[in-house]
Structure 1
Amino acid sequence: MTQMALVIDLNVCVGCQACVTSCKEWNTSGESGSLADFNPYDADPSGTFFNRVQSFEAGSFPDTEMIHFPKSCLHCEDPPCVPVCPTGASYKRKEDGLVLVDFDRCIGCKYCAWACPYGARELDEARKEMTKCTLCVDRIHDEHLSERDRKPACVLACPTSARLFGDIHDPQSVVSQAIRERGGYQLMPEWGTRPANHYLPRVPTTAAGCGSDGCSCKSAGSTTDEVSEASGSPDSQLESQLERGELHLASIATRI
């Protein structure tokens, strides 16, 4: 069975919130309907978000580093939120493995939110309906879009290409290869939910210089040519990345 999912590279996520804002923009004007915002610019803002980035400092002074941890629905292969729903509003699709919510059936009872061990569901206070990440289901299957653009809004918006999207059950997909080659892991696997989304671990930043043992370029499986390109001019580096299809549209805009 196909299982679409995200693979997030914690080594290159910079916590810029581009994924958060692009997710909000796309979904609040799409099939998910208007997502509530209460006092968004106040000292105590609240609202409905499908995707959030949690940032925290790790280590002891002066050897500290900031870690940015994006979190959304993990589209579990055995989702505990589905069987507890009394109306069948929460369901898992067979064709792509996505866990979705039928808003017409949702009564806002919050059973699914209580069952989710990841805190990935949010009740829209204005609509009194449970909401969550859909992996932009209304976008990834839109045949009017080019193949390159049939990806979640957060993936296209990421300026560092920290978010990968694909079928984790396909051994040749970019996400499967990243999990296999980079030691991708699931969040809290002890719960037995089999999360589809995976994270790529951070690499220690103690080494100095590109190409060293601690360099993220080398740890990501880059070839000698790729490392050489990384040390070249910005224009040549951008051109080579474009040819390999490693940059998304929004990422290109931020580099020109």
Structure 2
Amino acid sequence: MTQMALVIDLNVCVGCHACVTSCKEWNTSGEAGSLADFRPYDADPSGTFFNRVQTFEAGKYPLADTIHFPKSCLHCEDPPCVPVCPTGASYKRKEDGLVLVDYDRCIGCKYCAWACPYGAREIDEARKEMTKCTLCSDRIYNEALPERDRKPACVLACPTSARLFGDIHDPDSVVSQAIRERGGYQLMPEWGTRPSNHYLPRQPVTSCGGGACSCKTAQELEPVTLEAQLEHGALNLASVATRV
């Protein structure tokens, strides 16, 4: 059985929110739209987003680290939001495993939001309907688009390629290989929902400058400009994204 999903590499996500804005742009004008935005800049903002990025600090100085954690519907293989829906508006599609909402049947009761342990569903205040990530189901099968563009908007927009998309049940897919090789994990597996989306773990911050370290000190290093690194191909995309 096919199960389409995202794999997110926390080691290269720079928190730029390109995935958030591209998701909003595509879905508010697509089958899921329009998505409401009330008071976007007030003290109590309200808006409908399928994807959000949470940023937090981990560790202690001098080994502190900033972690950016994108989160959306995880398209669980055993989704608790589906059986609680009184109208059958929430359903799991058999052909690709996507968890979707039939907006014509949704009555906005919020039962599915209460059942979801990940807080991945949001009520649209204007439409009074429950909304969520669809993995761009209206895009990934759109034959009017070039094949390279038949991916979720968030995947295409990510400047560091932190988001991968594919069938996790296919052992040869890029997502399955990433999970297998990088130790990809599910979010809160103890709930037994079997989330399809996986995360590739953040590499821990390690100390430098100790007795066993052969690195040069800051005083010994020659200054290298951003332009010089780009010219010699020594700067990866994640570094560029944090500076421009």
Q: Same-fold call, TM > 0.5?
A: yes
Does 2:234 correspond to 1:234?
A: no
Counterparts of 1:192 and 1:95 in 2: how far apart (Å)?
22
CA distance in 2, matches of 1:112, 1:32: 17
| Residue deviations 1:209-229 (CA, integer Å, cap 9, x gap) | xxxxxxxxxxxxxxxxxxxxx
Measure how far apart 1:206 and its partner are. 2.1
Distance 1:10 1:154 in 2: 15
Structure 1 CA distance, aligned partners of 2:243 and 2:14? 15
1:206 aligns with 206
Name the SS for the 2:100 alignment partner: strand
Q: Does 1:53 align with 2:49?
A: no
Q: TM-score, structure 2 length as denominator? A: 0.86
Shift of 1:147: 1.5
> What does residue 44 of structure 1 align with?
44
Task: Give the 4+ runs in structure 1 shifted more than 3 A.
Answer: 232-238, 253-256
1:159–1:254 contact (8 Å) kept in structure 2: no
Deviation at 1:42, TM superposition (A): 1.9
Kindly state the Cα deviation for residue 179 of structure 1 after the two structures are TM-superposed: 0.1
CA deviation digits over 1:182-215, x for unaligned, max 9?
A: 000000011110000000001123266xxxxxxx
1:115 counterpart residue number: 115
The whole-number CA distance in structure 2 between the counterparts of 1:63 and 1:76 is 34
Contact 2:36 2:124 in 1 (8 A): yes
User: Equivalents in 2 of 1:100, 1:24: separation in Å?
Assistant: 17
1:217 maps to: none
Match of 2:129 in 1: 129
Asked whether the equivalents of residues 89 and 106 of structure 2 are also in contact (C-alpha less than 8 Å), the reply is yes
Equivalent residue number for residue 90 of structure 1 = 90
Shift of 1:173: 0.4
Within 2, Cα distance between the matches of 1:141 and 1:147?
9
Aligned counterparts of 2:243 and 2:149: Cα–Cα separation in 1: 18
1:132 maps to a residue whose letter is K
What pairs with 1:184-203 in structure 2 (closer than 5 Å)? 184-203=184-203
Instruction: State how far apart, in whole Å, the 2-side matches of 1:166 and 1:201 are.
Output: 19
* Aligned counterpart, 1:221: none
Identity in percent: 86
Q: Distance in 2 between matches of 1:160 and 1:143?
A: 26
CA distance in 2, matches of 1:172, 1:254: 32
Contact 2:168-2:176 within 8 A present in 1 as well: yes
Q: Is the contact made by 2:63 and 2:205 (CA closer than 8 Å) also made in structure 1?
A: no
Give 2:54's aligned amino acid.
Q
Query: What is the aligned partner in structure 2 of residue 216 from structure 1?
Result: none
Please report how far the alpha carbon of residue 235 of structure 1 lies from its aligned counterpart in structure 2 after TM superposition.
Answer: 6.2
Over the aligned positions, Cα root-mean-square deviation in angstroms equals 2.5
For the pair 1:71 / 2:71, whether they are aligned, the reply is yes
Number of matched residues?
A: 224
Q: TM-score, normalised by structure 1?
A: 0.82
Q: Residue 122 and residue 69 in structure 1: after superposition, are their counterparts in 2 closer, same or farther (change >3 A)?
A: same
**Matches of 2:182 and 2:16 in 1, distance apart?**
23
Quote the Cα distance in structure 2 between the aligned partners of 1:171 and 1:235. 38
The answer to whether residue 158 in structure 2 is matched with residue 162 in structure 1 is: no
1:180 and 2:180 matched: yes
Q: Which runs of 5 or more residues in structure 2 are unaligned?
A: 209-227
Q: Give the Cα separation in 1 of the matches to 2:242 and 2:204.
A: 27
Letter in 1 for 2:97: G
Q: Which runs of 5+ in 1 are unaligned?
A: 209-231, 242-246, 248-252
Residues 41-93 of structure 1 show CA distances to partners (whole Å, capped at 9, x for unaligned) of: 22321110000000001111332111110000000000000011000000000
SS of the counterpart of 1:114? helix
